[in-house]
Amino acid sequence: MFGLSAFDLARIQFAFTVSFHIIFPAITIGLASFLAVLEGLWLKTRNKDYLALFHFWSKIFAVNFAMGVVSGLVMAYQFGTNWSFFSDFAGSITGPLLTYEVLTAFFLEAGFLGVMLFGWNKVGEKLHFFATCMVALGTLMSTFWILASNSWMQTPQGFEIVNNQVVPVDWLAVIFNPSFPYRLAHMGVAAFLASAFFIAASASWHLLKGNKTSAMKKMLSMSIWIILILAPIQALIGDMHGLNTLKHQPAKIAAIEGHWQNNPGEATPLILFGIPDMDEEKTKYALQIPYLGSLILTHSLDKQVPALKEFPKDDRPNSLIVFWSFRIMVGLGMLMILVGVWGTWLRYKKKLYQSNLFLRFTFLMAPSGLIAILAGWFTTEVGRQPWVVYGIQRTRDAVSAHGEMHMSISLLIFFIVYGSVFGIGYAYMLKLIRKGAPEVQDGN
């Protein structure tokens, strides 16, 4: 297909399926906790607005959860079909971690999901609230195990290689590898922010359409508080994550910065924009700020950041991709902080629900959290290349022995099936959002 090798097609297929899949867990994580908060507030205040919002978002959560399960199963099977040599090499670590995710998180979510969705008037209020909290806890536990597995692939430790296979020798070291705490916090907060913007955009749309009910106002108010608090925190976590990556994956940082070489005694500038050229080994049309690269990445004005030319060509990530995916993520993050500050200022002026400009901007920011997550994952995964397990196994050595025709047909099928099945799912979720929160009575 288009002159691509089976290896390239396998990478595209995995990138396509994981990009589709990650959207659903991100929203599921945030919505599950939001539902727990809504039900808790209803139990405490008996304000029916919270109950209306719970019923409204629980339907969207259910659709999103179902699509996440389906897309996750398909993605997981690719480890055995398209990346069998990776499974053979590192399966003794990634297999148990993913199994723990199923045995703890997924079973917890699935076990209590039915009670949460269909248990009204069938179980007591406290038991129902407990079920909702368990579903929320399950989503967070799922994040824990998935990030433990992926982080180990980024910064592997706690293992030995015996007969060309990874053998775990210290499970605590495997799970709590050097990048895990930062990646877990970064992804967790990103999921909450993505959900907050999803919720805020829904409320903004209804307010712009004249649906100025107290429930819609509460929905916007709660989401703006979440954005105000978490967006700056995410920036701080991102800074710490960057320092950790500089220590353990310096080639990734060099590619992100589009930084090719250091001059003796000269601080590293920050390249704001440019076009990294892997063949010419330079960043064209670079717009840079002196010293700022060193200040941000080393917190000093004289230390240098590793440059791409310090690494063999075969060990360099594709700088063009990660350079721009990182800037998309950071740019959206700055806009998120703007929304939080702007919304707080409007709240102070008592104009939060009347400012059409703010409501339109918040509505347009609906996909920002998800786009930022995708951009962040592209930065992380492409920046890890050419390694599938960093420094241990190259991606080319992990792919199964399939032909171009086989991979082309399967990739085309994925495009068609995902586009139709999940397109219908997205359309149904949007239909539910357009209907808005229903009026509910106590006990319903």
Does residue 444 belong to any structural domain of this protein?
no
State the pLDDT at residue 439. Answer: 57
Range(s) of the domain holding residue 117: 4-433
Smallest CA-to-CA distance from 293 within 234, 223, 358, 246 is with 246
Rounded to 5°, the CA angle 62-66-70 comes to: 170
| Residue labelled with tokens 């509460």 | 218
Give mean pLDDT, residues 413-435: 81
Confidence of residue 120 (pLDDT cuts 50, 70, 90): confident
pLDDT averaged over every residue in the chain:
88
Does residue 329 belong to any structural domain of this protein?
yes
pLDDT at 401 over 90: no
Does residue 438 belong to any structural domain of this protein?
no
Confidence of residue 188 (pLDDT cuts 50, 70, 90): very high
Confidence of residue 253 (pLDDT cuts 50, 70, 90): very high
| Residue labelled with tokens 């003796």 | 264
Does residue 443 belong to any structural domain of this protein?
no
State the pLDDT at residue 444. Answer: 41
pLDDT at 413 over 70: yes
Smallest CA-to-CA distance from 108 within 86, 74, 136, 85 is with 136
Handedness of CA 398, 400, 403, 405 (dihedral sign): negative
CA dist., res. 341 & res. 329, Å (int): 19
DSSP string, 165-228: EEEES-HHHHHT-TTHHHHHHHHHHHHHHHHHHHHHHHHHHHHHTT---HHHHHHHHHHHHHHH
Does residue 57 belong to any structural domain of this protein?
yes
State the pLDDT at residue 442. Answer: 44
Close Cβ partners of 240 (under 8 Å, ≥ 6 residues apart): 182
pLDDT at 113 over 90: no
Does residue 75 belong to any structural domain of this protein?
yes
Does residue 312 belong to any structural domain of this protein?
yes
If one counts the domains in the chain, the total is 1
pLDDT digits 0-9 by tens, 310-339: 999 999 999 999 999 999 999 999 999 999
Helix, strand or coil, per DSSP, at residue 389:
strand
Does residue 442 belong to any structural domain of this protein?
no
Confidence of residue 82 (pLDDT cuts 50, 70, 90): confident
State the pLDDT at residue 2. Answer: 57
Give mean pLDDT, residues 210-237: 92
Handedness of CA 169, 170, 171, 176 (dihedral sign): negative
pLDDT at 286 over 80: yes
Q: Which helix (H) or strand (E) holds 161?
A: strand 159-162
State the pLDDT at residue 414. Answer: 80
State the pLDDT at residue 438. Answer: 63
